[in-house]
Amino acid sequence: MNLLFASLAAIVSFVWFLNYVFGVKRDSKEPPYIDPRFPIIGHAVGLLREKYGYYIALSEKYKLRIFGLAIPGMPGGRVYIINSPELVLAVQRQSKQLSFWHVEATFTVGMAGLSPHAAKIVTHNVNGEEEGTSFFKSGMTLQHQEMQPGEHLLNITRDGTQKLARTVSRLEEITRIDLNQWIVDTIMDSVTGSFYGPRNPYKDPEISKAFRDFQDNAVGLISFPLPKVTCRKAYQGREKMVDAFLKYYADEGPKTASHIVQSQDRVATTSGISLLDRARIDAVSGHAILANTTPTAFWAVFHLLSDPKLVEEVRNAVEPFVKNSEKNGHLSREMDISKIRDVPIIRSILHESLRHYADGTGTRIVLQDTMLDDKYLLKKDSFIFMPNRAYHFDESSWGTDVDNFDAHRFMKSKPYQPGAFRGFGGGVNLCPGRFYAMNEISFLCSMLVLRYDVKPVGGAWIHPGADSSNLSLIINPPIKEVLVDFKPRAGWSGGDWSFTL
């Protein structure tokens, strides 16, 4: 018995010693901490095994507005999890101290595999508060300016919708498709073509495949040691894309690209970024413009097509924007797509798709000790995680039907609680491409229901499940394929389509 007590005492003393040496020194002003089931390493193991699900489960169990997890080895030795929409807004108000841009700059360096010289340029003076230039702030400011409603957005929207229309027209010759794969290919073609122009590297099927290989484990390139070995597929995919963009520059591709690509190229050149590092940045930029657009498009189309009443509602809403004319037996159809994105039911479907499937996590890094909302001390160098699921499935914000997909939810008169919808991010990380993405997806939904009757193979629409395993994605893609049959709709097949903005 004495030996047993002595052994227990030794174990307790050893655990106490480890916690004293490696544990996080907590401040009474910090948010409450949740202790791990297994001392010191418990939270790290939980995050590695369960990813987002780990802190989502803790949030649902403890019902705290904000809490800390002590994780030795992480920057700052801790992570703060925020579950309150009000505190999300507080984070956005303190964007200089609680920085998203520093996180994105660091991720860009790792995901792209930048040289030390380029890494120094990208991560220097990120917020632009010091003297001299800020490559990162210049690039982010440029993106927001170029992608706001105006001439440049109009040009890429016109180009993108024309490419979408040609692809949709080809469905008249096809009877059966995998809906998700078709949308992935269609969005990739229209989006990258409108950005990169006639010499678009993504036109090569091998480069499109390389992008998917990279995207499948992009986070691994910054999370695991020796990514060339531990993330071989993603690494090789990225390197193929880098080679393709080097060729793109050699062929003077930017000269015939969109204004935003030309502007970004000028910023990189004047900042002293080498050609190789510019190709590396371009290789991972596809993740920003494609990774979350394609799954959002899939879920919007899936929920629209699988509800006959919704199909009819959207048809009735968009048909007035199409003018049909016939001359010498030749049928012409002109659609005013400037009005499509403002159709309430289409906007609601898109926003509900984002609410329902945007399970990712917003991330910030604490640049200096900061009092959040004058209540909680956040320690320097720590990370902040803001899980979308905590806000998007909060009954107090959305009602008791929060788990259901309600296509009309965003048409209701009662506004949702500020901070409760994070489909486009928020604050300084509000998605610069949100207007373009909404334009493209709205147009795609409209054209599909106008021109086709779509039926699932087997006769019943079956939800394919949402895949939350890819940490690099904010919007979960489907797990299973959805096979559908397309049939040209009576009275809407044929004719030459044109579009006005």
Torsion, Cα of 54, 57, 63, 66 (10° steps): 20
The annotated binding site is made up of: 431
Phi/psi for 394 (5° steps) reads: -90, 115
Question: Would you say 340 and 64 are in contact if contact means Cβ atoms under 8 Å apart?
Answer: no
Residue 196 CA to residue 100 CA, distance in Å, equals 27
Listed residue (229, 211, 161, 170) closest to 190, CA to CA:
161
* Close Cβ partners of 194 (under 8 Å, ≥ 6 residues apart): 156, 157, 159, 160, 163, 258
Question: Would you say 189 and 202 are in contact if contact means Cβ atoms under 8 Å apart?
Answer: yes
- 335 beta partners: 322, 499
Residue 30 CA to residue 364 CA, distance in Å, equals 17
* Close Cβ partners of 404 (under 8 Å, ≥ 6 residues apart): none
Residue 436 CA to residue 447 CA, distance in Å, equals 17
For 129, half-sphere exposure in the C-beta direction (CA atoms, 13 angstrom radius) is 8
| Cα end-to-end span (Å), the chain | 85
The annotated binding site for heme is made up of: 431
Whole-Å CA distances, 107 to 10, 111, 232, 281, 448: 43, 6, 18, 11, 37
Q: Cα angle at 152 between 149 and 156, to 5 degrees? A: 100
Query: What DSSP assignment string belongs to 334-362?
Result: EEETTTGGG-HHHHHHHHHHHHHHB--EE
DSSP strand pairing (176-178 vs 483-488): antiparallel
What is the DSSP code (8-state) at residue 50? Answer: H
